[in-house]
């Protein structure tokens, strides 16, 4: 195999590497036009801005320098966390006084380009700028944008309905990525609707049902189910913004902590991610500063988080449609699906300049790749117990009406589509999980090529959601008890492990 190939002149290569290291600059980023950055990591690959089989976001230098040393164009020395925090705080405070809106957007982009243009591509600078602006433009749902192509929008709706099973799974895996961002994660924990399997069952059943209404009904005409659901979601977002903005930071932090988190695979997954995911360059992930300095910006939902939500619904689908059984999808279909979500984003209050789905299909693909390579993969290196807990609760809740997936199979599939190597996690799978994962992959890779089978599973998913919405009080009580029992068992197992460790120490 390729990984087992060993050069014969090991000593010569070692001496060459040592000689190169001695000649490298000490600082990761200097005033020179471009430099060689050296990243040291703790028992991991230490890749900088590139991972094995990455989505072509960055390329390693092809000279005789080791692949984990990348050329990074630089205009200035990297800022410290304190300097980044000061820069962002100043930008946020001054931006509010700049009018009109278009001038404010331009000013924010200029400030961000000055601060982070040496490490971030333009699409991510635009998303970073979106975090400065309120999450709803306030535009009326009855005003249609000039760029709206209703034929393309309806084609996107038909594509979504015809492939709802594969899209549902793609969106499920995408939540693993979106919730790797602490800010987006906080908003769902504050509501309390994602901390137990039962709460997740209710939350994501409602969400999936609304999305299906958006796909299958007219969302532009008042009185239609799609339009009414859109207005309801927009109202919910407005209430959430007000709640978050009024909440003291101390209360917010207390609400996002989960007692006895359900995270049995955290250590194994984190070790694998730290080995295969890229280590970020200095200032590559400026949003992480917001966790250390929570007072530098508004807490309410913003345009950046809305754009990240759009990312969750389209990124994996357009980057790897066959992974989710969309073998017949053409570029025109995928572009129509992006146009659909551009329109849905508009109706939800997303600014046209920050709409993740604007531009051509290639623009959306490039934006998605950058988002994954520069931000999502580095985030995975530092996943927290609450992250695994919520993902397990979410998938367990979905099993209450449409069984099939598990946390383990979903994470394996996500690693496959992102080209991440997770050998420890994979080897720790039970035989049942291993077989289940193989079956899921067989269906999407081969079985979904059969249109009748794909149509059958589409209808089964829709019918299962409809049945779940009709559950009576007795059934709901049973599910609530099942959820509580699951978490009680988790807590008991953790206490048993802790007791065993205490005995060993004594």
Report the pLDDT value the prediction gives residue 340, as an integer from 0 to 100.
98
pLDDT in tens, 278-329: 899 999 999 888 777 777 766 678 899 999 999 999 999 999 999 999 999 9
Strands (E), 45-123: 70-73
pTM for the model = 0.82
pLDDT at 28 over 50: no
Return the bridge partners of 134, or none.
302
Cβ contact 372:325 at 8 Å: no
Q: What is the mean pLDDT of residues 337-345?
A: 98
pLDDT at 21 over 80: no
Instruction: Tokens 């205009």: give the residue.
Output: 75
303 class by beta-carbon count within 10 Å (0-12 exposed, 13-18 middle, 19+ buried): buried
pLDDT confidence bin for 506, thresholds 50/70/90:
low
Count of Cβ atoms closer than 10 Å to residue 295 Cβ: 9
- Terminal CA-to-CA distance of the chain, rounded, Å? 47
- CA-based Rg of the chain, rounded to a whole angstrom? 24
CA distance 506 to 498: 12
pLDDT confidence bin for 194, thresholds 50/70/90:
confident
Helix (H) / strand (E) containing 20: helix 10-23
pLDDT confidence bin for 71, thresholds 50/70/90:
very low
Q: What is the mean pLDDT of residues 455-478?
A: 96
Cβ contact 139:302 at 8 Å: no
Domain regions of the chain by residue span: 133-470, 476-505
**Conformation bin of residue 234: beta by default, left when phi > 0, alpha when psi is -120 to 50:** alpha
Percent of the chain with pLDDT over 70: 82
pLDDT at 60 over 80: no
464 class by beta-carbon count within 10 Å (0-12 exposed, 13-18 middle, 19+ buried): middle
CA distance 387 to 262: 9
Helix residue spans in 348-384 (DSSP H): 361-370, 377-380
Q: What is the mean pLDDT of residues 96-120?
A: 93
> Number of helices and strands (H, E) in the chain?
22, 2
Q: What is the mean pLDDT of residues 226-248?
A: 88
Question: 404 φ, ψ to 5°?
Answer: 155, -55
> In the structure encoding, which two tokens stand for residue 288, read together?
């992480």
The secondary structure of residue 350, as a DSSP letter, is -
> In the structure encoding, which two tokens stand for residue 278, read together?
């890229």
Q: What is the mean pLDDT of residues 360-379?
A: 98
Closest CA to 76 of 35, 123, 125: 35
Report the pLDDT value the prediction gives residue 504, as an integer from 0 to 100.
61
Cβ contact 437:412 at 8 Å: yes
CA distance 372 to 376: 5
pLDDT at 76 over 90: no
């Amino acid at each position: 195999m390729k990984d087992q190939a060993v050069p014969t002149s090991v000593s010569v290569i070692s001496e060459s590497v040592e000689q190169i290291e001695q000649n490298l600059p000490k600082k990761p980023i200097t005033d020179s036009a471009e430099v060689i950055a050296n990243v040291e990591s703790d028992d991991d690959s230490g890749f900088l801005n590139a991972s094995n089989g990455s989505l072509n976001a960055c390329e390693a230098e092809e000279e005789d320098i080791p692949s984990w040393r990348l050329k990074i164009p630089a205009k200035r020395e990297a800022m410290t966390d304190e300097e980044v925090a000061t820069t962002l705080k100043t930008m946020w405070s001054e931006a509010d006084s700049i009018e009109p809106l278009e001038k404010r957007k331009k000013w924010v982009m200029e400030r961000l380009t000055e601060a982070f243009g040496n490490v971030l591509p333009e699409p991510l600078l635009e998303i970073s700028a979106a975090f400065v602006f309120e999450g709803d433009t306030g535009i009326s749902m009855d005003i249609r944008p000039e760029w709206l192509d209703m034929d393309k929008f309806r084609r996107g709706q038909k594509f979504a309905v015809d492939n709802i099973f594969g899209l549902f799974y793609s969106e499920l895996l995408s939540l693993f990525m979106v919730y790797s961002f602490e800010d987006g994660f906080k908003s769902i924990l504050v509501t309390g609707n994602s901390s137990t399997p039962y709460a997740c069952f209710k939350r994501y059943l409602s969400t999936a049902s609304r999305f299906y209404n958006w796909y299958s009904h007219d969302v532009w005409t008042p009185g239609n189910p799609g339009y009414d659901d859109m207005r309801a979601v927009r109202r919910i977002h407005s209430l959430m913004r007000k709640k978050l903005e009024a909440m003291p930071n101390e209360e917010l932090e207390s609400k996002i902590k989960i007692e006895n988190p359900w995270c049995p695979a955290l250590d194994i997954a984190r070790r694998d991610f730290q080995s295969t995911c890229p280590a970020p360059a200095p200032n590559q992930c400026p949003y992480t500063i917001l966790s250390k300095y929570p007072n530098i910006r508004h807490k309410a939902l913003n345009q950046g988080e809305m754009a990240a939500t759009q990312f969750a619904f389209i990124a994996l689908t357009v980057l790897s449609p066959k992974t989710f059984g969309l073998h017949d999808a053409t570029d025109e279909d995928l572009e129509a699906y992006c146009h659909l979500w551009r329109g849905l984003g508009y109706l939800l209050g997303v600014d046209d300049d920050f709409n993740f789905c604007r531009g051509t299909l290639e623009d959306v693909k490039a934006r998605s790749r950058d988002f994954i390579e520069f931000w999502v993969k580095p985030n995975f290196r530092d996943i927290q117990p609450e992250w695994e807990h919520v993902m397990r609760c979410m998938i367990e809740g979905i099993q209450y009406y449409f069984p099939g997936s598990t946390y383990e199979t979903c994470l394996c599939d996500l690693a496959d589509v992102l080209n991440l190597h997770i050998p420890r996690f994979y080897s720790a799978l039970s035989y049942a999980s291993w077989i289940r994962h193989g079956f899921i992959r067989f269906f999407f890779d081969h079985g979904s090529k059969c249109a009748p089978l794909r149509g059958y599973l589409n209808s089964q998913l829709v019918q299962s959601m409809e049945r779940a919405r009709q559950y009576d009080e007795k059934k709901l009580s049973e599910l609530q008890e099942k959820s509580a029992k699951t978490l009680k068992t988790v807590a008991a197992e953790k206490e048993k492990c802790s007791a065993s460790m205490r005995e060993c120490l004594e």
